[in-house]
Amino acid sequence: MNIASLAPLAVVLPILGAALTFVLIRHSRAQRAVSIALLSLTLLLECLLLSSVWEGGTAAVNIAGWLPPWGIVMVVDQFSSLMLVVSSAVSLAVLVYATGQGMADGDQDAPVSIFHPTYLILVAGVSNAFLSGDLFNLYVGFEILLTASYVLMTLGGTGPRIRAGVTYVVVSVVSSVLFLISIAMIYGATGTVNMADLAIKLGDLDQGTKTLLHVMLLVAFGIKAAVFPLSFWLPDSYPTAPAPVTAVFAGLLTKVGVYAMVRTETLLFPGDTLNTPLMVAALLTMVVGILGALAQSDIKRLLSFTLVSHIGYMVFGLAMSSAAGLGAAVFYVAHHITIQTSLFLVTGLIERRGGSSSVDRLAGLAKLSPMLALLFFIPAMNLAGIPPFSGFLGKVGLMQAGIELGTPLAYTLVVGGVVTSLLTLLAVARVWNRAFWRKPTDADHPDPVLLADHADSDTGRRGGRNNVVLLPRSMVGSTMGLVVLGVALTIFAGPLFNVADQAATDMLDRSSYIQAVLGEDAPVPQVLTSGGGR
Amino acid sequence: MSVNLTLLSVMGALYACGIYLILERSLTRVLLGLMLLANATNLLILATGGYAGLSPFYSKGTPAQDYSDPLPQALILTSIVISFAVTAFMLGIIYRTWVLARQDEIQDDVEDRRVAETPSFDAEDDAEIPAETSEFPLTMIGSDGRAVSDYATVGAVESAEPTIAAGGKRIPAADAAAEEQPGSQNTTLDPEGGMR
């Protein structure tokens, strides 16, 4: 028996965990144990999946024995298994962080008992979306994770969260309706929703129909991935959620949208029909996003804007539709999930330690808690793309691919990418200067907590005891774990780039995917590109 | 393939009403709009299934093209369940909004407004001279480059107010100082104490 046939367990285990934790809703200790154990098990399984796919190639699992193109298929290829491993590692870290926060706060602030089942369902939805080999199952995966995210977004039901939740729910439902409409139209045009089958059949449609379906899918996924001009909802809704929830949303949800865009571009509609508009969208996403970040004084909002901005890099890599560009985009997705999540987790810690997440009120944290400063500094520099971090390597990969492509638009995007990277540095450096570097007395209106701590340390009584209470070990530990994972992505960038390049080559080739689903003798249509030599 | 015109016109009407309703500010109407959109999409999926035919149970003598296509119906069933869950959740949110704010309206993001109204001037980054907010006036450099103090300028100069160079223009120092006071979010409180 092949290990790849265990792929559905990546969805089943979290759902099982959700059921168990729901039963155990009155026993928070047992809940914690069950959810952490099951998520660790899922992560282990996905690591096995990644290694098996790396050796044995793409594998497909037919659910309940229905043959593809009729039944539901789950496909594990290098891209999806890499996404699974990174996303599960990140969600495990966030889960540990969240349980730490729940324990430290005595579960008063939010109904944490509902957190565990919902969170596990979110993870199941993400895994389902990554594994799905079927357009409708992808929709179901999206809906599972979105419905769970609605609950997490409005956890506690406070005024601001409800307000943010309304925007989020309405935008998500509209994008889902668009996705469903495009599925219906694709089914009407081809008579199938199986993605491998579609890869063959969509090629036979006439150009107008194809472009229509293509644009509809991209718009639906573009809303989920927060590509400008469809990104307006994200900075409006993410920052109000509890810190661990924002962290996991920032890391995973938009990336599922990017994942779906990658599949659309490479598997369903290969070729370069929409590359130019995608490149323009990528450029605008990068530049507009980061300009928005510069205007913010709240760290969470600032990070939400950098999140939007950096989605642009991934879309850039995708829009080049060359192996180098796509490989760099895959690497960048893995890097960005880790870094963005750890930054949001650190912001949660900053908020606990400094009493606020607004840079107008924070000051002197570097002296109060050097560990916190280090935990912020490393991912922040990583995000801005300072060598030698993985952010730098990913960006260099994208720039190289852009220069290889050599069109004027690609050069513009390379310049835009460098400018965005510098502006990101400016944005995070401002946070660093204000929240960590300056003295509390220099702040405009510092939080009283900071001034009190400062006085304490002046009289020789260091705020050591405060550090322990405000920064529980499990929260710092899980954040540190993610930061270390981010650094590990730098150290193991070589092998990771190999995986990413291999995944990109496989996706562009399409034959391994189609043949894994439909059998060895399935015809693999040729990709027609309009420009020669690209 | 022939299509059912009634079904299509109903679908179009539902889409039109749905889009109109989700653009409203009242949450209940938005919810109704979302429900209409979901149902219109269900009709669209049904329309892609082609002819209405026999119910898709297998019997030997019937040729395959006489059956209706079962797959769109399965898809619709799934999408009905999903829109049911979303509707229930939205109702919960609407109720919660009513409990909290006694209004059924989508509210603006306060922080968004604040950022939009923030002047490009930032006291820490942009001021050439820090604003003096102390109650004991010190000698300051005024707009004309000469030393000014409150005592010297009262009655002596027409524009007695000390100004600060910021972003290419001059704004009164008092305004800049007020900008930096705690709680000056440039927002007004409404009578019930919430933010508008």
| Predicted local confidence at residue B191, as pLDDT | 54
Q: How far is B49 from chain A (nearest CA, A)?
A: 7
CB atoms A150 and B106 under 8 Å? no
Residues linked to residue A73 through DSSP beta bridges, in sequence order? A62
State whether the Cα torsion A444-A446-A452-A455 is positive or negative.
negative
pLDDT of residue A533: 37
Residues B18, B72 within the same domain: yes
Residue A272 phi, psi dihedral angles, 5° rounding = -125, 35
| Residues of A in Cβ contact (< 8 Å) with B185 | none
| Domain membership flag for residue B43 | yes
Is B156 part of a structural domain of the chain?
Answer: yes
Q: Could you tell me if residue B190 is inside a domain?
A: no
The 3-class SS string of A303-354 reads HHHHHHHHHHHHHHHHHCCCHHHHHHHHHHHHHHHHHHHHHHHHHHHHHHHH
What is the reported pLDDT for A315?
A: 92
Q: Enumerate the H helices of A385-524 as residue ranges.
A: 390-405, 408-431, 448-458, 464-470, 473-491, 493-509, 511-518
- Out of B72, B93, B101, the one facing A165 most closely (by C-beta) is B93
Contact B117, A178 (CB under 8 A): no
Q: Which domain holds residue B149?
A: 121-179
Q: Residue A510: its pLDDT value, please? A: 83
Q: Average pLDDT, stretch A258-286?
A: 88
A181 vs B contacts (CB less than 8 Å) = 41, 44
Which is more confident, B2 or A99?
Answer: A99
A178: its two tokens? 């668009």
- pLDDT mean over A412-440: 88
Closest CA of chain A from B157, distance in Å: 30
| B182–A170 C-beta distance less than 8 A | no
User: What pLDDT, on a 0 to 100 scale, did the predictor assign at position B31?
Assistant: 92
* Identity of the residue in B41, B110, B194 whose CB atom sits nearest the CB atom of A184: B41
Cβ A445 vs Cβ A308: under 8 Å: no
CB-nearest to B93 from A158, A166, A187 is A166
Residue-wise pLDDT for B44-87, tens only, equals 998 887 777 777 777 777 777 778 788 888 899 999 999 999 99
| Res A312: pLDDT | 92
Higher pLDDT, A271 or A403: A403
pLDDT in tens, B84-139: 999 999 999 889 888 888 877 777 777 777 777 777 666 556 666 555 555 555 55
Nearest CA in chain B to A147: B86
Q: Identify the CA nearest to B54 among candidates B44, B63, B46.
A: B63
pLDDT of residue B184: 54
Residues B88 and B172 in one domain: no
Same domain? For B85 and B141 the reply is no
Closest CA to B17 of B42, B34, B41: B34
Q: Is the same domain home to B97 and B173?
A: no
For residue A155, give Cα distances in angstroms to A38, A527, B179.
Answer: 23, 47, 33
Distance CA A296, CA A354 (A): 18
How far does A225 lie from chain B, in Å, by closest CA? 20
Q: Is residue B35 part of a domain?
A: yes
**CB neighbour burial string for A64-81, b if at least 16 within 10 angstroms, e if fewer:** eeeebbeebbbbbbbbbb
Residue of B nearest to A135 (CA): B75
Domain annotation covers residue B185 = no
In this structure, are B91 and B172 located in the same domain?
no
Three-state DSSP string of A34-72: HHHHHHHHHHHHHHHHHHHHHHHCCEEEEHHHCCCCCCC
Long-range contacts of B59-68 (CB under 8 A, 24+ apart): none
Q: Is residue A301's pLDDT more than 60?
A: yes
Does residue B97 share a domain with residue B24? yes
Contact B37 A174 (CB under 8 A): yes
Per-residue pLDDT for A82 more than 70?
yes
Looking at chain A, the whole-number percentage of residues with pLDDT higher than 90 is 30
What residue ranges in chain B does DSSP mark as E strands?
140-141, 147-148, 163-166, 169-172
Rounded mean pLDDT, A12-32 = 86
| A272 vs A185: which has the higher pLDDT | A185
Residues B49 and B76 in one domain: yes
Structure tokens at A366: 């570097």
Judge: B41–A151 Cβ closer than 8 Å, yes or no.
no
Which of A154, A158, A180 comes nearest B41 by C-beta?
Answer: A180
Q: Name, in order, each residue with C-beta under 8 angstroms of B171's C-beta and a sequence gap of 6 or more.
A: B119, B121, B163, B164
Domain assignment present for B88: yes
Q: Which residues of A touch B27 (CB under 8 A)?
A: 166
Map residue B141 onto helix, strand or coil. strand
A230-260 in b/e form (b: 16+ CB < 10 A) is bbebbbbbbbbbbbbbbbbbbbbbbbbbbbb
Which of B7, B96, B104 is the mutation pick for testing A, counting most A CBs within 10 A?
B96
Return the residue in B3, B48, B184 with the most chain A beta carbons within 10 A, the one to mutate for interface testing: B48
The first and second tokens of residue A255, run together, are: 């990336």
**What integer pLDDT is reported at residue B183 of this predicted model?**
56
Domain for residue B162, yes or no?
yes
Chain B residues in contact with A150 (beta carbon < 8 A) = 86, 89
Contact call for A296 and B22, based on CB within 8 A: no
User: pLDDT tens digits, residue range A100-122?
Assistant: 876 656 555 445 678 889 999 99
Indicate the pLDDT class of residue A422, thresholds 50, 70 and 90.
very high
For residues B102 and B126, membership in a common domain is answered with no
Residues in A closer than 8 angstroms to B38, CB to CB, are 173, 177
Distance from CA of A194 to the nearest CA of B (A): 12
Residues from chain A that touch B71, judged by Cβ atoms under 8 A, are 187, 193
Does A164 sit within 8 Å of B181, measured CB to CB?
Answer: no
Q: Are residues B91 and B163 in the same domain?
A: no
pLDDT value at A294 more than 50: yes
pTM of structure: 0.83
Q: What whole-number distance in Å separates Cα of residue A269 and Cα of residue A201?
A: 11
- Are B99 and B125 in the same domain? no
Of the candidates A86, A76, A74, A75, the one whose C-alpha atom is nearest the C-alpha of residue A49 is A76
Domain count, chain B: 2
Question: The domain that contains B94 carries what CATH number?
Answer: 1.10.287.3510
Q: Rounded to an integer, what distance in angstroms lies between the CA atom of residue A249 and that of residue A196?
A: 29
Instruction: State the pLDDT at residue B57.
Output: 72
Q: Average pLDDT over chain A, rounded to whole?
A: 85
By Cβ distance, the residue of A147, A164, A434 closest to B85 is A147
What distances in angstroms separate CA A83 from CA A12, A43, A468, A503, one per listed residue? 17, 11, 35, 11
Q: Do B152 and B71 share a domain, yes or no?
A: no
Residue B10 lies in a domain: yes
Q: Band of the pLDDT at A531, cuts 50, 70, 90?
A: very low
Contact B41 A143 (CB under 8 A): no
- In whole angstroms, what is the distance from residue A150 CA to residue B141 CA? 55
Same domain assignment for residues B86 and B150: no
Q: Do B124 and A444 touch (CB under 8 A)?
A: yes
**Angstroms from A55 CA to nearest CA on chain B:** 36
pLDDT bracket for residue B20 (50, 70, 90):
very high
